[in-house]
Structure 1
């Protein structure tokens, strides 16, 4: 089993640029991040510092989000956000440049919340245009755009795997094939999706898997979800990528659940 640590939600007691090294010290060889900057187009020195932190830690950047806005304030993406099209377009170029420098090839584009005063249909049309642009923007480095159902935000319209797959189908109709489902088993389960059925029918559509247990969004084993069973079945059906650890730590050692399988942190 090959895991990647989401350093935007884990190891948060450390400054962000120290987290890749902490993940490496904990035995992992890959990390992923939400957008790690305050702006869609950060200063070159800030990008350089982020890339250097990844390289110096000796880990692979396996996943990176496009800018999703002010996440603590409730924002969940710019893809369908009216009035921020130019900003999203500029962000695509930065994301692709970071991917080229780090070898990262998976990029999560959060869809964005429904906005008062705008028809959902117009937001969806904008999302299609922006997702096509994102897919085209990372295609040159062999990148893939990921689309994720999310829980906890009523205004976020993609809640089930099928919601995201319907959008993905539209993007592919525009000739952009490098877009896939990000199957976060926690979000799907909390939203009431039939995760086992999603795996049976769509494991070959997964571009990435992320996990957290429910209730609580904490470490595997702290809740009721059969996460290992779901991972094993996904792999049996052809999923060969990493599994993202995207949970909130509830223990001093957020990786203690893995201590009985130390080799599983970095390799199969």
Structure 2
């Protein structure tokens, strides 16, 4: 496949804007890294009019995909975990072109996983975990067991990803394979939820109890980044929190995370008077620094 695609990537590699070219070929039908394509050509560029540009090609009975991605978009995917296939491409793809060791240095950075980036990634993952857990619990309490099941499965997935990050690794496409080695306790919970012969209501009840403990034990690590930011000033409005250059990455999960931390007495609400009688502005304050 490389010979077939050579004219395409060589043309791009000759451009000064191109940082690197990686090709990933389909190895197993069970692994969705190439989205069923026989090959994926990833071309990384400094900048472009569009952060992602995709083209599809056909050659006889083969098909290939070309992804042109900016460095900024790539780093956002790595930080937010919003495109998990990118890790497979970077780790397992064949490097066809590497300007000034850009891809080599990127792989070193991924392996070393700088601690600050890890803290931020843990915070984002913890917020997703809390969102799924709290929504699932609400469905369970209202006897919507299938919806609760859906949410608890997702919350376990976020818990698994959080455990992988805590241990200094990036969660990959096969995250459960990673967790099996790193945190077998979480894997056991997942297997009990999926494989148990107990009635669904009983399975969920046990899982919520077990998850409560695991979430509690990870709260300190999970909110380190958020706490570091909130400690920078005494009180925060929700507008300031949601528009902070790093906290906005928590997106829609941020409000739920704040409410969870208020319930756990880690954040306190400070009311400030408005012109309306009995109506107060609501501000947020880190109640205690994490030891």
TM interval, shorter chain, is under 0.3
Larger helix proportion of the pair:
2
Relative contact order higher in (CA < 8 Å, ≥ 6 apart):
1
Between structures 1 and 2, the one with greater strand share: 2
